[in-house]
Structure 1
Amino acid sequence: MDCDGDGDLELSDLPSEILVYILDQLKDTRAAARTSVLSRRWRNLWARIPRLFFRNHQPHDSSHVSDALAAHAAHAVSAITQLTVMSLYSATPDATASWLCVAAPLISGELCFRNRSVVPMRTLIQELDEEVVEERGVFELPCFPKATVIRLSLGFLGLSLPPSGVFSAQPALRKLHLEYVQFHGECTLDDGMMPFLKELVICRVRGLANLTIKLKSLIRMNLSEIVDLLRLNAVVPGLKNLYVRSCLYRWNLPLVRIVAEEVEDISWATWYDPGFVKFSEMPYLKMPHTDCCHYTGTW
């Protein structure tokens, strides 16, 4: 390796592995890709980065994300282990779906998408309780056959999940986190869709009136602030940890059925009445943590 007159090592003289590491630490894939113009040595070096990070400023246009993903796929020597996309403002369904479709077959690890990322959390929480919310449209989540973790914070963009069977390829989805999502009535998650799912988090969502969960492999389930929930039917025989908070309200008279014979820990911080909320036998249950708005009967 060459040194300058002072004996200092020039950046371009570093081994490629170190240069790739430096580009990875930028956490800005567009900036990393621009280094290709520096010299032949740097050309497409960014495509060896396994973790990609994008910030999208254009609500109606995500083409730079799609183009970068396609370019990465053309020159990459390894799969994408993490893809993080931050849409600063309210992305349209078409703009969201376009890059997701390109990304779907390329990710072998974690997908993280946050919509309206510049909006303060307190504003999103206020929108959660508003009677009238701006209609932002709906997109369908494509099949991610190799993704193991999907985290979506959608800023109340509408979401439609794909039909049963699309996540059955190995390695299958293990964790699904959904927050600030606008649903439209019903949602079903079953073994035909996500046969190896271990962890499910649904937090601060609107429009989800009927939730059906039938997942044999699920171990941890967190349901928080599902404000419109009227029906919950969960058959989760392998579940160990259950957390439910601010999902059920007396004036809605929700109907709940939870079958979870293996559950060990429950945190229940929402309305409860044994006439409407039914649990299976739970022989391994430790002392439950409860903070109920209304509670009668025994566990």
Structure 2
Amino acid sequence: MEASHTTPESMAAWLPIAARRISGDLLLVLQTNIPDYEVWERGALELPCFENATSITLELEGLGLTMPPSGIFARLTNLHLGCIRLRGPSMLGEAVSSPRCPALQKLTLSGTSGLGNLTIHSESLLEMTLTRVHGLQQLNVTAPALKQLEVLSCFTKGGMILILPVANISAPQLESLMWWDDSDPKFTQLGKMENLQCLSTFPFTIYEETDHVRELQNSYCTRLLRRFELIHSLRFQLVNDLEDIITNQQYLMEDITRLPDITFMFLDITGNGHSFGPSSFHLLRMCTGLRKLSLTFCGTTIRPETLCPSGCVCDQPPSWKSKELALNCLREVEVCNLIGTEHEAALVERLFVWATVLQKMTVTFHCSVAESKAKEFCQMLQSFSRPEISMKGQHFA
């Protein structure tokens, strides 16, 4: 069942009726032009117990919602709550735990508020995503079957800690962890994660500005990295959010002193027209056992003509272009979202030198890049390559 363009009043009237009849999926999206303060004043919608629903998705534009105090969601496997203010005694954790939600496999909370404490005990839960759960103070999860956990900006706002997060996660079968919040071991217990295969950290900013906010945010990343010795794959984001000349800003890469032992790295780079060679070199020299590298150039504004202003120090120290680096296990490289800049070419050229046993490189371009420019860039890459390396991509001859 799907409903949209409805009002809070009409929902309150027909939801109890729907709860008795629905035996499949419920998708409910509230679309209204009501000002936020009026939505707040309208109180809360009481969610009835959907005993036979298999999937529930609610997007309520900030409307209040109270969870049912009793009842069993016997068949529910997927629950998504978005843009919702939880009201009254917080019973969400109780409602989604195994006694009342025995089949739940996927839980998603996005843009919700009013949830100070979330405690879940679930034998069936496989995937859990918490994104901007505003005001969350304590997170306790016991989920022996959980495979994927994502926690993004629940204890922080704009990268700043709003409260000291207290988290206790027991998920021994966890395979994928994305944690974009502080993870101070004094307050955040992640338990044993011996099956963890993939880790994604808070984005790391290359240069500090004037308020030391970036340095604090970077500590979220480095604290998490220090928790793990061995992981199959790491997703790491390097960000240079300075668009103007870089002169005396503090270089923060030295704060990263070690990485886990990894075989596969997803490296996402936002350069804003600046060089990312020195920062990439700093990371790769800690990954000498790397077997596969996926390099993606990111950015909301693609400006291939943008170059650093005269006097910018973003390419320093320049020795990264001449220093030796033995990536003797790296056999495959993917380069995605190229726009054909000199900075991109400089890094890829060094990869050919560092990766002595490279067998395959796959190249894709941003959709804005003209075919003629892409072909020209690919010809340059082929001049860097070696005969034994297979160059893949639609613009290679």
Out of 84, 87, 102, the position equivalent to 2:5 is 87
What do the CA deviations read for 1:17-57 (whole angstroms, capped 9, x no partner)? xxxxxxxxxxxxxxxxxxxxxxxxxxxxxxxxxxxxxxxxx
Q: Deviations over 1:126-171 (max 9, x none)?
A: x7xx9x9833311221121111000000111111112354213xxx
Identity %: 35
Paired with 2:99 and 2:227, the residues of 1 have a C-alpha distance of 34
Unaligned runs of 5+ in 2: 204-216, 229-397
Deviations 1:210-257 (A, max 9, x none): 111111100010100011111111111100011111111323112111
Query: Which amino acid counterpart does residue 73 of structure 2 have in structure 1?
Result: F
Q: Distance in 1 between matches of 2:55 and 2:41?
A: 28
TM-score for the superposition, normalised by structure 2: 0.48
- Secondary structure at 2:179 match in 1: strand
Q: Which runs of 4+ in 1 moved over 4 A?
A: none
Q: Which residue of 2 aligns with 1:248?
A: 155
- C-alpha distance in 1, partners of 2:143/2:64? 26
Partner of 1:115: 30
Q: Deviations over 1:163-199 (max 9, x none)?
A: 354213xxx0000000011013623231122111000
Cα distance between partner residues in 1 of 2:4 and 2:162: 37
For residue 285 of structure 1, the aligned residue among 164, 171, 196 is 196
> Contact between 1:86 and 1:117, CA under 8 Å: does it hold in 2?
no
Distance 1:140 1:183 in 2: 10
Distance change >3 Å, CA 174–CA 287, structure 1 → 2: closer
How do residues 172-187 of structure 1 correspond to structure 2 at under 5 angstroms?
172-184=75-87, 186=90, 187=92
Instruction: Please identify the structure whose Cα radius of gyration is greater.
Output: 2
Q: What is the rounded CA distance, in whole Å, between the counterparts of 2:26 and 2:32 in structure 1?
A: 16
Asked whether the 8 Å contact 2:112–2:134 carries over to 1, the reply is: yes
The answer to whether 1:137 aligns with 2:66 is no
Alignment of 1:165-204 (within 5 A): 165-168=71-74, 172-184=75-87, 186=90, 187-188=92-93, 189-204=96-111
1:235 aligned partner, one-letter code: T
Deviation at 1:118, TM superposition (A): 6.0
Question: CA 1:114–1:261 in 2, change beyond 3 Å: closer, same or farther?
Answer: same
The answer to whether 1:274 aligns with 2:185 is: yes
Aligned position for 2:227: 298
Partners of 2:2 and 2:198 lie apart in 1 by: 39
- Residue 287 of structure 1 and its aligned partner are, at CA, apart by 3.5
Task: Tell whether the 8 Å contact from 1:205 to 1:226 is kept in structure 2 after alignment.
Answer: yes
Pairs aligned (count):
202
Q: C-alpha distance in 1, partners of 2:53/2:136?
A: 29
- Alignment equivalent of 2:137, drawn from 227, 230, 245: 230
Name 2:119's counterpart in structure 1: 212
Q: Which has the higher contact order (CA 8 A, sep 6+)?
A: 1
SS at match of 1:274: coil
Aligned residue runs from structure 1 range 28-43, under 5 A:
none
Q: State whether residues 213 and 234 of structure 1, in contact with CA within 8 Å, keep that contact through their aligned partners in structure 2.
A: yes
Q: Is the 8 A contact 1:164 1:190 kept in 2?
A: no
Counterpart Cα distance in 2 of 1:98 and 1:193: 24
Alpha-carbon contact 2:4-2:30 (below 8 Å) kept: yes
Change (3 A) 1:117 1:236: farther
Cα–Cα, structure 1 residues 233 and 283, in superposed 2: closer, same or farther, change >3 Å?
same
Other structure's SS at 2:58 match: strand
RMSD over equivalenced CA pairs, Å = 2.3
For 1:245 and 1:133, the matched residues in 2 are separated by 26
Give distance in 1, aligned partners of 2:46 and 2:40: 19
Q: Is this contact kept in 2: 1:227–1:247, CA < 8 A?
A: yes
Residues 91 and 116, structure 1, Cα contact 8 Å, conserved in 2: no
SS at match of 1:96: helix
Pick the structure with more strand per residue. 1
Report the more deviating stretch, 133-142 or 263-272.
Answer: 133-142
Question: Match for 1:149: what amino acid?
Answer: S
1:175–1:161 CA distance, 2 compared to 1 (3 A) = same
Distance 1:202 1:218 in 2: 14
Q: Contact 1:266/1:288 (CA < 8 Å) preserved in 2?
A: yes
Counterpart-to-counterpart distance in 1, 2:136 and 2:121:
17
Query: Counterparts of 1:138 and 1:152 in 2: how far apart (Å)?
Result: 14
Counterpart in the other structure of 2:63: 157
Structure 1's unaligned 5+ residue stretches are 1-82
**Structure 2 CA distance for partners of 1:247 and 1:254, relative to 1, 3 Å:** same
Matches of 1:261 and 1:225 in 2, distance apart?
A: 25
Superposition TM-score, scaled by structure 1 size: 0.62
Does the aligned pair in 1 maintain the 2:8–2:45 contact within 8 Å? no
Which amino acid is the alignment partner of residue 48 of structure 2?
Answer: P
